[in-house]
Amino acid sequence: MRYGENKERSAELLRLVLPLMAQQSAAFHPLSYTLWYEHVAGVNPSLSRVLSAHLQTGSPLTEQEVHRLHAQHVMARDVEALERLQEQLRALLAETARTAANAGVEAGQFGQALEQHKAQLSEASGVDVSHMVAELLKETVRMQATTQSLTEKLQASAQEVSTLNERLQRAQTEALIDPLTGLKNRRGLERALADTFGEAAPLPGAALLVADIDHFKKINDTYGHLLGDKVIRAVAQVIHDNIKGRDIAARIGGEEFAVLLPETSAQGAAALAEQIRVAVSRGRLHRGEHDEVSGSVTLSVGVAVGRAGETLETLMQRADEALYAAKKGGRNRVHEARSSAAPRLN
């Protein structure tokens, strides 16, 4: 999105945004600033409704909520704009092809009609009209040549449009992928969900894992962001290596991941979560010239199984609550969301 505010207006928005950001738990980073900038500028009504609700309740936004809101209300809007442009290009390409084809057909039919009329006029009047018709035929040939030239130009333009369309498709795909890990991002998870379950996206029979790297801020503060990024990539690789088939893995926040498991029972989901947790806990942090071992990485995982008519948002909320319980219970563990049975800590 292009912002239309001038320097004076943007300075005023900055003055309004900073106090709002200061009320939140999230850090002062570009994603958070974008949310509050668009809110006070009044350019994102759906986002403003969510943020206004948070302000009324006095509930500060966490880092995870900032990443989610940014994916839902900022990135999703830009992806949708790309998709609309892509659809318009496809329609233009199809219409161009039809126009060129129709022009060629009509020119050919006109030439055939002139030939027929030439013979009929000569027979009916006895007058030699061949010269006049020959001139008309000559014009027809010229028109056909012009049409052919136009067709070739349109084909060249169509190729350019096709190339642009491919670039837009790549941009669209990249907008659904987390660049650090290669997993899907929040928007990519939502798109994959829609492709799997349809527009209504009911989730009965599907399970969701939400995993968070324990004490990740301490890892960053102690070892630096470069090692922190390596940890995130390593955890993403473990998750990727342990899923299969139609399972969908995504990085949905700074150090938070989600795995959607179609047609998976609570027992199966908990078993996979435990498998991932154990695999991550076996890894070790290495640093320095001698690659000395400096510590380990652990995961806390929340597990929830979808109910009839449930959306990703409500399923995510229940999995988040289970994740919070895992953190509160001591971290490096799996916790299942409350169902008809009592919750269980692994």
Q: Which residues form the catalytic set?
A: 255
Q: Which of 165, 182, 147, 175 is nearest to 70 (CA)?
A: 175
**CA separation for the pair 79, 331 (Å, rounded):** 36
Question: Taking Cα atoms as reference points, which of 185, 234, 153, 215 lies closest to residue 75?
Answer: 185
Query: Using only C-alpha atoms, what is the Rg of the chain?
Result: 31
β partners of residue 286: 293
Rounded distance between C-alpha atoms, residue 118 and residue 132, angstroms:
9
Residues, the chain? 346
Closest CA to 302 of 341, 263, 333: 333
**For 41, how many CA atoms within 13 A lie in the half-sphere containing its CB?**
19
Query: What's the rounded Cα separation, in Å, for the pair 214 and 265?
Result: 26
- The edge-to-edge listing of strands for the beta sheet with 248-251 is 248-251, 256-261, 207-213, 299-305, 334-336
